[in-house]
Amino acid sequence: MAQTEYRQKRFERPPGATEILLIRHGESRAATAENPFPLVMGHGDPELHPNGREQARRVGERLKGHPIRAIYVSNLRRTSETAAPLAGHLGLEPVVDPDLREVFLGDWEGGVLRIKAAQNDPVYLRMQEEQRWDVIPGGESHEVLMARLLRALGRIHSKHPDELVAAVVHGGVVGSILAAATGARPFAFNGCDNGSISHIVMVQGKILVRRFNDTTHLRDEISSASGQMT
């Protein structure tokens, strides 16, 4: 009599769940003290660097064969510019959700964070040690950030049960969502690469993590000088 075998199975999306591909925007232009980023609702709003446009093209090529039903972006142009190639392949109009915007950096908006980080500013070092954005004067607290991100994810989930969607967002957003999903320290997943793909599943009020910082499509890196700070 043959024995019953119980084999390992591949992951299957639970009924009613929403799969979300969290795509970090492509590299944005360099920050300088003389040419700060323009602001949108107080947030720095740089355009993509040429590297970022190439990263966006590669994201589009990587995902154009996937059954993506919607594309979400923040109200900052580096996300809509990154989403454009994929949206063109799929014939979709990206949906703007301002709650998906990057962490608010208070007095360090407009590119100042990058400068402070390069200088090893004491406040920047304290921010990293305490893993709190609101160490920056006027910076957004973890609680306020997560409240708006969970609102946005909840809206996406309610509109797309049993579907796959893409959300082109920011490094701080990806890091915060994955940290919350896994119970990790707030900055544990910060620093995902520009143009990278992370993958979560929303189901029954929970967030399942399937993938983080997938850069297969970027392996022959465009430039070794590519920046990674917001």
- AA letter at 180: A
Q: Do the domain assignments include residue 151?
A: yes
Q: Do the domain assignments include residue 174?
A: yes
Q: How high is the mean pLDDT of the chain?
A: 95
Reference 43, options 116, 123, 106, 97; nearest CA is: 106
Over range 181-200, report the average pLDDT. Answer: 97
Catalytic residue list: 25, 102
Per residue, the 3-state secondary structure of 139-197, as one string, reads: CCCHHHHHHHHHHHHHHHHHHCCCEEEEEEECHHHHHHHHHHHHCCCCCCCCCCCCCCE
CATH number of the domain that residue 79 is part of: 3.40.50.1240
pLDDT tens readout for residues 64-75: 999 999 999 999
pLDDT class of 223 with cuts at 50, 70, 90: low
Q: Do the domain assignments include residue 226?
A: no
pLDDT tens readout for residues 1-14: 789 999 999 999 99
Q: What share of the chain has pLDDT > 90, as a percent?
A: 92
Q: Do the domain assignments include residue 42?
A: yes
- Domain range for 163 is 18-104+140-218
What's residue 229's pLDDT? 42
With a cut of 80, say whether residue 47 has pLDDT above it: yes
Q: Do the domain assignments include residue 213?
A: yes
Q: In the chain, what are the helix, strand and coil shares in percent, each to the nearest 5? A: 35, 20, 45
Q: Do the domain assignments include residue 99?
A: yes
Q: Which residues pair with 49 in a beta bridge?
A: none
Q: What share of the chain has pLDDT > 70, as a percent?
A: 96
User: Using N-to-C axis directions, what is the helix angle for 142-159 and 171-182, rounded to 10°?
Assistant: 90
Total structural domains within the chain: 1
Over range 200-208, report the average pLDDT. Answer: 95
Distance from C-alpha of 202 to C-alpha of 227, rounded to nearest angstrom = 30
Q: Do the domain assignments include residue 37?
A: yes
Over range 46-71, report the average pLDDT. Answer: 98
pTM across the whole model: 0.94
Over range 183-193, report the average pLDDT. Answer: 97
Q: What is the CA radius of gyration of the chain?
A: 18
pLDDT class of 220 with cuts at 50, 70, 90: confident
Over range 119-128, report the average pLDDT. Answer: 98
Q: Do the domain assignments include residue 73?
A: yes
